[in-house]
Amino acid sequence: MSGFLEFEGITKSFGDLKALDHVSLSIRQGEIFSLLGPSGCGKTTLLRICAGFETPDSGRVLLDGKDITDLPPNRRKVNTIFQNYALFPNMTLRENIAFGLQIAKVPKKEIAERVEAMLQLVQLEYHAHKRPHQISGGQKQRVAIARALINRPQVLLLDEPLAALDLKLRQRMLVELDGIHDEVGTTFVYVTHDQSEAMGLSDRIAVLNRGVVEQVGTSTEIYEAPRSSFTAAFIGDTNFFNGRVCEIIDNEYCLIEIEGIEPRLRFFNDKNLRANVRVDVSVRPEKFSMDRNPPVPSLKHNTLRGIVEDIIYLGSHSKCWVRINDEYLISVTSQHSRFLLDRKPILWNEEVWISWHADDGYMLERYDENDEALLALPSDTDLIEEPAAVDDVEAE
């Protein structure tokens, strides 16, 4: 491994709870790296170990080749943006931003120049004399960024920095963060539970679950080729099937027999599975096309017939649940760019055909049935709360 920031076999327990279990990650210089996972997955603990607020039970943290595991926070060239910003209320914004340089005993003239430059970067020149309680959440966020970046850290740690902002502001700050990163080029480590933030901002993402790294990859890799059921279900929506490989076709594809589903389904066999092996597969809802007429038969497409059980209109698209053979409930996204022009939109209880390309299904390496709970099923009342914007980013 030759990363800029390296975690080597980090393990950390709090009492009986194992927060991190042999986590190893390698983060490159200058990239935006996200730690993504549900609350309690250990992402914040990992960040705090990197900042120096926690010491791992075992394992090492290397920054630019140097072991920083036992260095106290004030001696690491790492700065943090806290979830609640943690601005000093007794100081003006200018004093807040200058704090790090004053501690480092930088000459006054240089401090003034660098603070001015930072204020410009985060567009707060006209608010510099105010105190934290006099500015808005988005502005506080920017002060926190300026206060951290002015010390020219080797790594900037961001602990759910947008969690306290509302949706619109969050999207704008995301763009601003990206712009700031382009300008300063510092390595960002970004902790979030929000998949859309992570996917929109990051160069690479590490998905964490119960203290273990599930997968590391770019947004596309994580979304299109999830290795585990957790990754598949936590990022975006998906459908799971369990079946048995019953025939290999051209060394590339295989037919999978799934109990209760006719006919056998064709999947891309990227795991080189042999016949008679059991396998878990997943197909994302937007990979399906849905029609009330049977599609033209094609060798590379799978086609199933079902009944529409539920439709939820979400603005940019609709979510449908299609019941197959009274057994499987499949989530299907239906785009409707010409919604009003559709003479006969598909309605509840209609019989439909859904089909998808064999390459769009995906074989999982690991499956845990608990992860199905992460999927939003139609009975869930909180479905409507899911913002349409989240799905926009996923679709990228």
Nearer to other proteins, 80 or 231 (CB): 80
Minimum separation from the CB atom of position 157 to other proteins (A): 9
Nearer to other proteins, 130 or 244 (CB): 130
Minimum separation from the CB atom of position 90 to other proteins (A): 4
H/E stretch holding 45 reads helix 43-51
Distance, CA of 5 to CA of 27 (rounded, Å): 5
Minimum separation from the CB atom of position 319 to other proteins (A): 39
Minimum separation from the CB atom of position 100 to other proteins (A): 4
Nearer to other proteins, 103 or 249 (CB): 103
Largest CA distance in the chain: 76
Nearer to other proteins, 87 or 363 (CB): 87
Q: How far is CA 22 from the centre of its chain?
A: 21
Q: Which residues pair with 308 in a beta bridge?
A: 322
∠ CA 263-302-367, rounded to 5°: 85
Minimum separation from the CB atom of position 86 to other proteins (A): 4
Which stretches of the chain bind other proteins, using CB under 8 A? Answer: 51-53, 72-75, 78-80, 82-84, 86-90, 99-100, 103-104, 133-134, 147-148, 151
Alpha carbon distances (Å) from 191 to 86, 129, 201: 16, 31, 11
Minimum separation from the CB atom of position 75 to other proteins (A): 8
Nearer to other proteins, 135 or 376 (CB): 135
Residue the block writes with tokens 């539920």? 310
Nearer to other proteins, 80 or 355 (CB): 80
Strand-strand pairing, 204-209 and 32-36:
parallel
- Closest C-alpha to 364, from 229, 205, 218: 229
Minimum separation from the CB atom of position 83 to other proteins (A): 8
Minimum separation from the CB atom of position 197 to other proteins (A): 20
Nearer to other proteins, 73 or 378 (CB): 73
For the chain, how far is it from start to end, CA to CA, in angstroms?
Answer: 30
Give the pair of three-digit tokens for residue 16. 């009986």
Instruction: Please tell me whether residue 66 adopts helix, strand or coil conformation.
Output: strand
Distance, CA of 41 to CA of 17 (rounded, Å): 11
CA dihedral of residues 172, 176, 177, 182 (deg, nearest 10): 150
Nearer to other proteins, 45 or 269 (CB): 45
With beta carbons less than 8 A apart as the criterion, state whether 125 and 48 touch: no
Residue the block writes with tokens 């549900």? 38
Q: Phi/psi at 393 (nearest 5 deg)?
A: -70, -40
CA dihedral of residues 55, 58, 64, 65 (deg, nearest 10): 140
Minimum separation from the CB atom of position 108 to other proteins (A): 17
Nearer to other proteins, 76 or 317 (CB): 76
- Closest C-alpha to 56, from 70, 66, 44: 70
